[in-house]
Chain A
Amino acid sequence: MLQFLVRRLIVAILVAATVMTLAFILTRLSGDLAISIAGPNATQADVEAVRKAYGLDRPLTVQFFDWVGRAATGDLGESYFFKTKVSTLIGERMPITITLGLTGLVIALLVSLPLGILAAVRENTALDRVVQMVALVGQAMPSFWLGLILMITLGLQLGWLPISGTGSWQHFVMPGIVLAFSAIPALTRLTRAGMIQAMGSDYIRTARAKGLSRASILLKHALRNAAIPVVAIAAVQLGFMLGGSIVIEQVFALHGVGFLAWESIGKNDFPVVQSVVLVLAVIYVALTMLADLMNAVLDPRLRGP
């Protein structure tokens, strides 16, 4: 287990290094940063001044290692546009994005676990096929489109939920549903497959031979084992959701990290862009490690003899 964690940590560091390199290269590819920062009316002298002030006149490798070195100590640099520390900016916006991601995950689990169990218990019936169809359709639906549909129906026509902003928990429901939709198909399919496999296993036959109640057989004995792969994928899905929030936060005007990234791309505020990418990647890696730990909690075999 310990060896496993160490291996995971090494992978995490490699992922972070790769992401940093990519983010760095991509932001530089978007053109001469000094020109875009200086603005359209700047003279050649202004541009040169900007270039010097931001250290853009140094060789790229120096700039890169400077950034990496600072990032490793938690210093993500300063935003060109907001003129504040990037870490402060991200720190302020992160709670909104995390709330959104967790809301999405909780909604996704609340929908996919029961659906998956139901489909498994009624395997090969009409109900099972309906569930699989819904999962398929859900997967094909673009999230901004679903977001707009929800805003029009639940928000404008029915007036049940606010359509933009972050004032109350109700503000997170609609974007949460939209985010959840991207995870529901995979989670439902996985729950269904896991439950079908578990229900056909010898230990479930034993549970039935013990005369246990149906609830205990399904939820205690079968789901516990079926949940192991679901937990792993749920963590990965949460990572995707945090990334996917770039679109959703736009649609619902939630000023989270995704919104920040969007704004900063438009303004060529590359310290912010590359830092958001880095932070999301680190969170993603942390989530997969968390999934491994939770798997070890759920599956005693992973804890060793």
Chain B
Amino acid sequence: MSALLEVDQLEVNFGGRVSAVRGASVTVERGETHCLVGESGCGKSVTALAVMNLLARGARRSAKRLAFEGQDLTGLSDSGMAHLRGNAMAMIFQEPMTSLNPAYTVGSQMTEVLRRHKKTTQRAATDRAADLLARVGITAPGLRLGQFPHQLSGGLRQRVMIAMALMCDPKLLIADEPTTALDVTVQAQILRLLAGLQRDLGLGMLLITHDLGIVARVAHRVSVMYAGEVVESAPTAELFANPKHPYTRGLLRCVPVPGKIKRDEPLGSIPGTVPRIGPGFEGCAFRDRCDFADVTCAHAIPRHAASVAHDFLCRLPA
């Protein structure tokens, strides 16, 4: 059986000038949580949006393979894609404050997606919405359903977005920093909820986060992105124990032992900034900041396998 989500050699550029994603490959299995980490601007959100075909106008997307449950997404019609979105594949956005329509109540926005994809009554849809709001830790869900987004705090809006994404029992959930505005208890509650859905329904998740504590707790696999490329990908324990890429090592520097990560641990800070990359760039994008860089790093870099499920993009040997 094919994987739930296959992304192979994804390329996204904006107006032919900025290459936001350069040949990134990510696979999500059923029931798996795949975490995408990396500094701000490395292309995590763009990768997620490209999968959902929700990129802004002017963005160009191409991929060697982009498939959901074995079904090719690149050639899928708009209506074919609309049939999947919100239904079998759902997304939670990084911008909770602005992602709800200010003109409609929480209830109408939540029930709408269920009624679009499943045969159900308004009453049943409202009940399901209230139930999900309760499960993401919102008290008085009945009251919230009748409220408008501007009456809700950022944390509440974020939880509404999470609940809304779960309305149709998706098989794939793409979550872009879903718990940033939430306090630790609520965050833990939501991660437990998602883990439960994963167990019961085989939900696969592509989770974008800055929080290595969350990565260590929930990820089965981690992919590290840098300047539009996945520079290293490995099962979580292996990545923490045996990081290969100098960038990954930099990120994990302040994290000595896996499992010993404190909550809200930031990514390790590395001197320098992510370069903006245009088309036709050659060599390792990290070389300006890398302690191991030499002349060969300016040429095409091979992808190494450190083990069966662990690969990285660096000239250094495994």
Contact = CB atoms under 8 A, between A and B. Distances in A.
Chain A interface residue bracket vs B: 20 to 34
Interface in B131-182: 148, 150-151, 161, 164
Contacts of A209: 52, 54, 85-86, 90-91, 93
B84 interface: yes
A266 interface: no
Contact of A212 (B86, B98, B164): B86
Contacts of B99: 202-203, 205-206
Given A208-B85, A211-B83, A211-B117, A300 B101 contact: no
B112 interface: yes
26 contacts: A201-B98, A202-B93, A202-B99, A203-B98, A203-B101, A206-B99, A206-B101, A208-B85, A210-B85, A210-B112, A210-B113, A210-B116, A211-B113, A211-B116, A212-B116, A213-B82, A214-B78, A221-B101, A221-B103, A224-B101, A224-B103, A225-B102, A225-B103, A299-B103, A300-B102, A300-B150
Contacts of B91: 209
Interface in A218-272: 221, 224-225
A110 B197 CA distance: 48
Chain B interface residue bracket vs A: 20 to 34
A83 interface: no
Contacts, number: 78
Given A202-B95, A206-B93, A300-B150, A211 B86 contact: yes
B59 interface: no
B305 interface: no
Interface of B: 52, 54, 56-57, 78, 81-87, 90-91, 93, 95, 98-104, 112-113, 116-117, 148, 150-151, 161, 164
Question: What are the nearest 8 A-B pairs in CB distance?
Answer: A210-B86, A211-B85, A211-B86, A202-B98, A300-B148, A203-B101, A210-B113, A211-B82
Nearest to A124: B57
Nearest to B98: A202
